[in-house]
């Protein structure tokens, strides 16, 4: 078949294609409307290591940087630990939104703007704003407690200082026009493919 043959098929079934496209776009928009309102929340952890004047040389500065990054990485691992996550939710008085340890490890997301950054953003989502706030506050409290315990046990140096921001919770914005347009394009493609199938079986 040549290109003009495909164009003829599309023109012949244009009503079918338009109906399918509008149906897909309408269903996608309605499904988006029915979805519960979601909230995103985060806390930002900033870790510093201030060496004493006697330690302030090139070697110790190099050690300080690497030790800080290693500790930040340990916090990243901590927020993927099912045990620690379970502690957070128990402290917050909220049911863990996961049925197995694999899903639990995915509840929190951690990110750094650079791999060498000592600032760590810990974020998660929930359909309940109040519960999300309590979870983030518990995460902040337990993380603070952990670093204090590690200092008391001499696992880490007293030179480390951890500053954790207050929790920030925002409602996720839903763009209905974007949803409609994207699903409309998908519907058009589906309608065109469907018209080719119809034409094939009619021959």
Question: What pLDDT shows up at residue 87?
Answer: 95
Token pair in block for residue 54: 């006697």
Tens-place pLDDT, residues 24-40: 999 998 888 888 889 99
Q: Which CATH number fits domain 39-171: 2.60.40, 3.30.420, 1.10.10, 3.30.1890?
A: 3.30.1890
Tens-place pLDDT, residues 131-144: 999 999 999 999 99
Q: Global pTM? A: 0.70
pLDDT category at 59 given cuts 50, 70, 90 is very low
User: Which of the listed ranges 5-9, 114-118, 183-187 does the model predict with the highest average pLDDT?
Assistant: 183-187
Task: Please compute the mean of the pLDDT values over residues 138-158 and round it to a whole number.
Answer: 88
pLDDT category at 201 given cuts 50, 70, 90 is confident
* pLDDT of residue 181 exceeding 60: yes
On whether the CB atoms of residues 13 and 20 are closer than 8 A, the answer is: no
Of the candidates 159, 145, 179, 183, the residue with the CA atom closest to the CA atom of residue 63: 159
Domain regions of the chain by residue span: 3-35+175-202, 39-171
Token pair in block for residue 82: 């099912």
- Separation of alpha carbons 85 and 91, rounded Å: 10
Question: What letter would DSSP give residue 101?
Answer: H
């Amino acid at each position: 078949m040549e290109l003009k043959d495909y164009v003829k098929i599309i023109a012949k079934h244009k009503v079918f294609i338009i109906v399918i496209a509008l149906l897909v776009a309408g269903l996608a928009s309605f499904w988006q409307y029915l979805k519960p309102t979601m909230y995103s929340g985060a806390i930002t952890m900033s870790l510093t290591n201030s060496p004493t004047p006697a330690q302030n040389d090139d070697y110790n500065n190099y050690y300080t940087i690497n030790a800080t990054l290693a500790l930040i990485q340990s916090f990243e691992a901590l927020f993927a630990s099912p045990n620690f996550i379970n502690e957070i939710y128990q402290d917050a008085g909220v049911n863990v939104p996961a049925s197995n340890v694999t899903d639990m490890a995915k509840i929190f997301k951690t990110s750094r703007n650079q791999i060498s950054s000592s600032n760590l953003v810990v974020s998660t989502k929930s359909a309940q704003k109040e519960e999300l706030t309590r979870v983030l506050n518990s995460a902040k409290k337990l993380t603070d407690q952990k670093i204090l315990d590690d200092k008391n046990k001499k696992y880490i140096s007293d030179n480390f200082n951890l500053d954790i921001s207050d929790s920030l919770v925002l409602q996720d914005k839903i763009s209905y026009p974007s949803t409609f347009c994207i699903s409309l394009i998908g519907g058009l493609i589906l309608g065109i493919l469907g018209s080719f199938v119809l034409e094939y079986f009619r021959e």
